[in-house]
């Protein structure tokens, strides 16, 4: 356990509050072959077209991709960096919270414990709920 978890929590949340806009999803550099049969890109892998930058994310369960030009990439790259930093800070805050809860309740870490899945029926029907418990 860290010396002062509340102090670290305040540091993490303060850093979160200083982040600017955050763009979710993936920023990927792509190369491609064109549709022209005699183009060099079909016979020489080193002569593919691109690179092209694309931003891919999920919106209402659907994958949405936007191609970015050089200006857009320069403008929005800090937003992608902010989103990455935000995810790291949230993960740290979650881990810190778990440590504090485990210490407060005297649970101890669950490292190396296997989980047992028990299926139970509800309402006498074929559909059941799955309960996960540690063994």
In contact, 73 and 54? CB cutoff 8 Å: no
Q: How confident is the model at residue 3 (pLDDT cuts 50, 70, 90)?
A: confident
What would the pLDDT profile of 94-112 be if each residue is shown by its tens digit?
999 999 999 999 887 666 6
What gap in Å lies between CA 77 and CA 110, rounded to an integer?
Answer: 38
For residues 84-96, give the mean pLDDT. Answer: 96
Q: pLDDT value at position 109?
A: 66
Above 70 in pLDDT, residue 22? yes
Q: pLDDT value at position 99?
A: 92
Above 90 in pLDDT, residue 121? no
In terms of DSSP H, where are the helices of 22-118?
A: 40-43, 70-105
The residue that leads in pLDDT, 64 or 116, is 64
The residue that leads in pLDDT, 128 or 78, is 78
Residue ranges per structural domain of the chain: 5-108
Closest CA to 3 of 117, 119, 103: 103
Q: pLDDT value at position 107?
A: 87
What gap in Å lies between CA 55 and CA 32, rounded to an integer?
Answer: 16
User: 81: number of CA atoms within 13 Å, CB side?
Assistant: 8
């Amino acid at each position: 356990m860290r010396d002062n978890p509340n102090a670290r929590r305040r540091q993490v949340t303060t850093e979160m509050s200083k982040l600017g806009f955050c763009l979710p999803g993936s920023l990927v550099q792509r190369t491609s072959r064109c549709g022209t049969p005699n183009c060099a890109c079909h016979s020489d892998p080193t002569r593919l077209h691109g690179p092209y930058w694309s931003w891919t994310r999920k919106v209402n369960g659907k994958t949405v991709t936007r191609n970015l030009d050089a200006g857009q990439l320069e403008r929005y790259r800090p937003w992608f960096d902010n989103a990455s930093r935000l995810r790291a800070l949230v993960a740290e805050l979650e881990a810190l919270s778990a440590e504090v809860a485990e210490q407060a309740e005297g649970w101890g870490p669950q490292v190396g414990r296997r989980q047992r899945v028990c299926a139970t029926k509800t309402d006498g029907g074929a559909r059941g709920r799955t309960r996960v418990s540690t063994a």
